[in-house]
Amino acid sequence: MISKISPNVFQLYFDTFGSTAYVLKLNKNIMIDTSTEDNRKELIEDLKQLGLKPENIEFVILTHNHWDHTGNLNIFKNAKIITADNLSDLPSDIKPIKTPGHTQDSLCFLYKDILFSGDTIFHEGGRGRTDLKGGNEKQIQESIKKLKTLKYNILCPGHIN
């Protein structure tokens, strides 16, 4: 299912477990996270509704390396994959924020007044779990403090249900 966040930002979400995925139709076509293999068919269908094929995506940005966010990476054959290692390759209108805690590599991204928060924070004060590998309670608290200093109006988290 697709929810329009702003004129050029779309949220893709699924009934079956998996992360949300976001499509940003800027001067480049960008995805943030890719959900799971179980949701692949629907993801491709949603992209089609947005006038895109997987090969039209030029950047895939990952909020962190968890299977429920990275399951469809391999269908984006022409995309540059952005992770915690190559942030300098990000399109310049997207600002990365390092937010360790849920995992060591967790990132959030700010585009205009929209914050893509991965599994660091969710709607209604929800926050990522820290009991998985690489999780750290003190770090996520610091990361959440950091996010509170940002000016954003719209929260786009990695899970909404």
Chain positions contacting Zn ion, by CB under 5 A? 66, 119
- Give the residue with the Cβ less far from Zn ion, 50 or 84: 84
Gap between the Cα atoms of 65 and 45, Å rounded: 24
- Give the residue with the Cβ less far from Zn ion, 12 or 66: 66
Shortest Cβ 33–Zn ion spacing (Å): 10
- Nearest residue relative to Zn ion (C-beta): 66
- Give the residue with the Cβ less far from Zn ion, 66 or 71: 66
Residue 120's closest CA among 143, 138, 142, 137?
A: 143
- Give the residue with the Cβ less far from Zn ion, 105 or 119: 119
Structure tokens at 31: 């995805």
DSSP characters over 61-110: E-SS--HHHHTTGGG-TTPEEE-TT-GGGS-TTEEEEE-TTSSTT-EEEE
Shortest Cβ 18–Zn ion spacing (Å): 11
C-alpha distance from residue 20 to each of 27, 115, 156 (Å):
22, 14, 9
Torsion of CA 14, 18, 23, 24, to 10 degrees: 130
Shortest Cβ 66–Zn ion spacing (Å): 4
- Give the residue with the Cβ less far from Zn ion, 29 or 82: 82
Shortest Cβ 53–Zn ion spacing (Å): 27
Shortest Cβ 13–Zn ion spacing (Å): 16
